[in-house]
Structure 1
Amino acid sequence: MKMKNFVALALAGCMALSLAACGSTATTGETSEAATGEQAADATEATDATATGSGFTVQLGPNPETLDPALNSAIDGANTIITIFEPLLLVDENNEVVGGQAESWEVSDDGLTWTFTLRDGLKWSDGTDLTAKDFEYSFKRLADPNTAAPYGQTVVGMIAGYDDAVGNPDADGNTTTEPDFDALQVVASEDGKTLTVTLSYPCSYFDKIAAFASMSPVQQATIEANGDGWCTQPETFVCNGPYMITEWTPSERIVLSKNPNYVGGWDSSRIVSDTITLLLIEDDTAAYAAYNSGEAQLIKSVPSDEIPSLTPAEEGGDFYIDSNLGTYYISVNCQREPFTDPLVRKALSLAIDREYVADVVMQGTYSAAHGISCPGITDADGSQFADNANGGEPYISNDYDANLEEAKALMAEAGYPDGEGFPTVTYSTNDQAYHLPLAEYLQSAWAELGITVNIDTVEWASFTPLRRAGDYDISRNGWVMDYDDPSNMLELFQTGNGNNDGKYSNPEFDAAIEASKVADKATHYEQLHKAEDILMEDMGCIPVAYYNDFWLQSPSLQGTWHSPYGYWYLQYGYVE
């Protein structure tokens, strides 16, 4: 399959994924032979082109923090997980949900009961049988507080019994009852062929959640035998996707080989490369050297100082830019003084010239963000959620000079005129891509408020744990949507959410999120707009830019594709 114009594909995908949040009409999802006519044609081309097998090499990020589907919360890890694991459902090249390990699924008239029928002959990579009982265990493990899954509330929080499963936490996040592992209403049939999931409220985008990487099954026996180390070495790594890990040299490379026991939704006739090598390179310059030497056919880490000299794909070059449904933002530790004060957080936000950041610091590869919800997310009527936010006005004005004056006034109101008495603060970031240049810009921008900023550059392996633990003052952050519903972005900032790195907490915001969990579509979106209004008024996070992905890809690498959710699908890749 030839490389497509992915900007057009992303926009088409966003339209195709326009969802109502909740519904009550009975629906049925069913797969065909896993390949459409177009896919079958591509499969013939791919098979002919790679009759002798072989493989290809890509760089999509550094050493992953984890490849446990329940624990991963980073795009880097997810790009590997979607190649070696397979959930009940998949999202295909057209951004449509199709069967994965499930061959069909049905939704009850009231929208509460989802029944998945699994394919025959499913296997783990070690050759043992995979059944619905494996999915039951994996979903319940996501809810188990002992797992500490950052996505737990996001992906299984709407399943009936979730509160009991997590111990009915109070407003401060403390459990009030003993967590009940089996409380989550996920039931496998005795024959292991059917999985029934009962929701606590109708959620029409649950099919998108069922296709999410975190919802991949994990083998209970492997986890119990090897503990947390089960997913750190090929010898104990059992998966169920089209590829499996056969070599892993930390901070150097992961080698994936075709899984001989694979049965699932991807078209096996199109899975033609024997191996996929993932270079675990954190340094942009090293990644660029690997690409120029021919070692890698695709790299995500492109040195920012090289971008002006690269030829865009639409002009016949190998430099691609594709829109993402995501927002680059700054987490401010809302539990640390002086950041507990919304006036301080607003001042920090207003002192940022977002147009300058997007056009100069990020060299036009991102666009300025004036709210947390990004373009491309649809509203109740199919229009853009972001366009309708704040009564149609940006939360943050484009008038930087006026913003800066307001920021100085807010600092004075907070008790820090010209920064007097304000402590020296630390900005934490990893140093890939634009992260360090942005940190240096913020250092100078906040100096305009009389604030001294130290930059703490942290290796990627340590960065996300530091951020999740709240062991920082201010930190770079970001979120790429998992499905087209604004709740996926806004629920991040709910009290107790595993991805709420800034520890923002406001009962009114939480109440709006909870009120959005209803069958009525208009109410759902109305409450989410209210939630964003509260979040932006508090400046519980600081939006900076709307994401794009950019990368270099050799014309010899065919069959891969990039989704608007930030994933690279490598299953059908091959070198021509």
Structure 2
Amino acid sequence: MNSKLRPAEGPGGGSVGGSTRGWAGRRYTAILAASLLACAGMLLAEAIPLAPQDTNPVFNAIGKRMPPDAAPLEFQTYRFMRDEPRSLDVSVNLYVGQWNEFLFETLVAKDENGDLIPAAADRWEVSADGKTWTFYLRKTGRWSDGRPVTAHDFVYTFRRSLSYETANPYAAFYSDIVGATTYSQTPNADPEMLGVRAVDDHTLTFETTHPAPYLGLILSVPTSMPVPRWQVEKHGPRWTEEGNCVTNSSYRLTEWKHGSHMNFELDPYYDGPIKGYVEKIHRVFRHPSTANLLPYENDEVGFAEVQANELIRVQRDPELSSELVSNPTDGTWYIFFNTRKPPFDDARVRRAIARAIDRETICRVVLHGAAVPAYSMLPVTFDAHDDYKAYQEFDPEQARKLLAEAGYPGGRGFPVMEMWLRQPRPDIRMVAEVIQGMLREHLGIGITFRSADYPVFTNYMFNWNIDLGMVPFFGDYRDPKNMLDMIWRPGTRGRSRHDFEHAEFEALLDAADQELDPGRRTEIIRRAERFLVGEAGAAFVFHPMANHLFKPWLRGLKTNRFGGKTVIFTDLYIGEDFPGAR
């Protein structure tokens, strides 16, 4: 484009200008048009009231400007109910401290769609070969005791969490990092073998054994949260207790009354990009098995999960139904087996059980539409999801045939098996009982139940001491590496979730690790999952739908690409229509 100015052209292509008379006529027309527009503007201004201006902005305790529709600061407390954590040390065992992840800031975080955003690191780079990630930490980052957050804190965190002595159930999560597998499986290993290095106080590198495009997502999950070395070494396992806990996020722990509740407040030292709105967070302890909607209906909490046994009531209630939001989750409920001892070492037995389960009835009648049938591990929210229904479709006749071929015609000679359940909610207990009836009716086999809390269940599961169990897994990040490789890759007792082993399955997972082309990698993943499903490494039951209630006064919720609401604690605030704030 020529950057020089040219005379404006008239309708006929000639330049505008020339006679004074033509200029005067055009000037009159322009003035008249401007006058008419001005009059129209005044009329519109009278007809349409302008949006109110926020002339007196309010800032919270760490200087974040509150939205104009926020309730006064004295009402800015977000309350929620969950079971009491055993510890907040989630980097070494996620299962003991879930729902407190907002206390620690990872290198990167995820937005409402699961995409990476800056957190403790304000930028990062990936080498051309995809095997070196470099993170540049925010130089003004501080712990809640005022000490600087450095790259050395993250190095210490990973050396501690991945050590053999820690026995982290999520250690396999980091197997792509150079030296991680050997380090986590070798007593008293040299931490220098781990491919995590501090170049200087604010530069951190990760070396992987192969291109790992999902590494940033792994580093955004709670098990990648940093810990303060000086507090860990001073207080040992009690470093997360009230008075000892030092954090690096927008919030800090101020009270932990065991058996009752815990409180968190804004951290004045935090100056990062993910500042919270609410002044306080209040967590009341409640066991999942006793969960109901009464606290929500009484305005004690602004958010509630709707269990299947309450979904119909909510859908029929005019007020509650208007506050209900449903969307697919990144989760799968499945039945797993001890595949290395009878009777489940025989794939025909596992296939028989998978074929004897009527998932359509479970989802429609028992869960009232709060789930969709699952025939594979990966849910529809994953790009690599595919249709494997033919491998585990409900087929009682085929199920009986498979069981007979395995030596148990009509269920004769088959031992009564105990199915483990992890802190089952009422709806999950109902699903288990319906499956119990289906196996008895279609196969002639009997099962009983054992319920266990999270830590006990997890310990037995990772040590492969559960012959039959039903459990969910919700993706930590939206890549098949998480839900296929981490969960099902063969590993060692005590450090791997399940004992399923299949040479071709494992070879395909290895091939997917080396494939740089996204399309070819997806196809390899699908072939691998076909082996998992076909060999009935698990009997997949359902993918839950997220059914949540949100009070109109709970603001800051963002809509994700699937149409659902994403709860991110630092985005939430209490609206001006909160009861008592009006």
The one-letter code matched in structure 1 to 2:471 is N
Give the distance between the partners of 1:527 and 1:178, measured in 2 at CA: 37
Q: What is the distance in 2 between the residues matched to 1:523 and 1:52?
A: 53
Aligned with 1:309 (options 310, 313, 330): 313
1:96/1:309 CA distance change after superposition, 3 Å = same
Match of 2:157 in 1: 138
Q: How many residues align?
A: 505
Instruction: Note if contact 2:91-2:226 (Cα within 8 Å) is conserved in structure 1.
Output: no
Q: Within 5 Å, which residues of 2 pair with 1:55-134?
A: 55-59=76-80, 61-74=82-95, 77-81=97-101, 83-134=102-153
493, 496, 511: which one pairs with 2:488?
493
Offset at residue 178 of structure 1 (A): 5.9
Q: Distance in 1 between matches of 2:512 and 2:307?
A: 42
Q: 1:443 to 1:178 in 2, by over 3 A?
A: same
Mean CA deviation greater in 215-224 or 513-522: 513-522
Identity of aligned residues (%): 29
Matches for 1:322-341 after TM superposition, within 5 Å: 322-341=327-346
| RMSD (CA atoms) | 2.7
1:250, distance to aligned residue in structure 2 (A): 3.6
> Which residue is 1:419 aligned to?
411
- Residues 428-443 of structure 1 mapped to structure 2, 5 A cutoff: 428-429=420-421, 430-443=423-436
For residue 499 of structure 1, report the CA deviation from its aligned partner: 7.2
| Partner secondary structure for residue 234 of structure 1 | coil
1:164-179 matched pairs, under 5 angstroms: 164-167=182-185, 179=189
The residue type equivalent to 1:195 in the other structure is: L
* Preserved CA contact (<8 Å) 1:257 1:274: yes
Higher RCO structure, 1 or 2 (CA under 8 Å, sep 6+): 1
The residue number in structure 1 matching 2:177 is 159
Q: How does 1:398-477 map to 2 (within 5 A)?
A: 400=394, 403-429=395-421, 430-448=423-441, 449-477=443-471
Number of the residue aligned with 1:148: 167
Contact kept, 8 Å, 1:560 with 1:570, in 2: the verdict is no
Conserved in 1, the CA contact under 8 Å of 2:73 and 2:279? Answer: no
Secondary structure of 2:432's match?
Answer: helix
Structure 2 counterpart of 1:568, one-letter code: V
Shift of 1:530: 2.5
The answer for the alignment partner of 1:216 in structure 2 is 225
Question: Is the Cα–Cα contact under 8 Å of residues 47 and 272 in structure 1 kept in the other structure?
Answer: no
Does residue 1:238 correspond to 2:246, yes or no? yes
CA contact (8 A) 1:63 1:461 kept: no
Q: Distance in 1 between matches of 2:111 and 2:526?
A: 30
| TM-score, L = length of structure 2 | 0.80
Partners of 1:262 and 1:543 in 2: how far apart? Answer: 44
1:509 to 498, 505, 529: 505
- Deviation, 1:263, is 2.8
In the other structure, the counterpart of 2:207 is 198
Q: Structure 1 residues 315 and 166, CA, compared in 2 at 3 Å: closer, same or farther? A: closer
How far is 1:244 from its partner? 1.7
Kindly provide the amino acid, as one letter, of the partner of residue 223 in structure 2.
S
Residues 431-452 of structure 1 deviation map (CA, whole Å, 9 limit, x = unaligned): 2152101111111011121111
> Does structure 2 conserve the Cα–Cα contact (< 8 Å) formed by 1:333 and 1:470?
yes
Report the secondary structure of 2:331's partner residue: strand
* Inter-partner Cα distance in structure 1 for 2:221 and 2:318: 29
SS of match in other structure, 1:477: strand
2-structure distance, mates of 1:342, 1:571:
47
Shift of 1:322: 2.2
Q: Helix, strand or coil for the counterpart of 2:391?
A: coil
Please give the alpha-carbon distance, in whole angstroms, between the structure 1 residues aligned to 2:253 and 2:309. 34
Check whether the contact 2:375–2:533 (CA below 8 A) recurs between aligned residues.
no
- 1:557 maps to which residue? 554
State the partner residue of 2:545. Answer: 548
State the partner residue of 1:571: 570
Using a 3 Å threshold, how does the CA distance of structure 1 residues 146 and 324 change in structure 2: closer, same or farther?
Answer: same
Please identify, of 44-53 and 473-482, the stretch whose mean Cα deviation from structure 2 is larger.
Answer: 44-53
1:44 CA drift (Å): 5.4
1:498-527 deviation per Cα after TM superposition (whole angstroms, max 9, x unaligned): 774332122332222122111432443333
CA shift, 1:316, in A, is: 6.0
List gaps (5 residues or longer) in structure 1.
Answer: 1-39, 168-174, 379-384
Which segment is superposed worse, 450-459 or 460-469?
A: 460-469
Q: State the 1:140 CA deviation.
A: 2.2
Match of 2:193 in 1: 183
| Match of residue 31 from structure 1 | none
Displacement of 1:463 in angstroms is 3.1
Report the 3-state secondary structure (helix = DSSP H, G, I; strand = E; otherwise coil) of the residue aligned with 1:235: coil
| TM-score, length-scaled by structure 1 | 0.81
- Give yes or no for the alignment of 1:395 onto 2:391: yes
Which whole-Å CA distance do the structure 1 matches of 2:318 and 2:221 have between them? 29
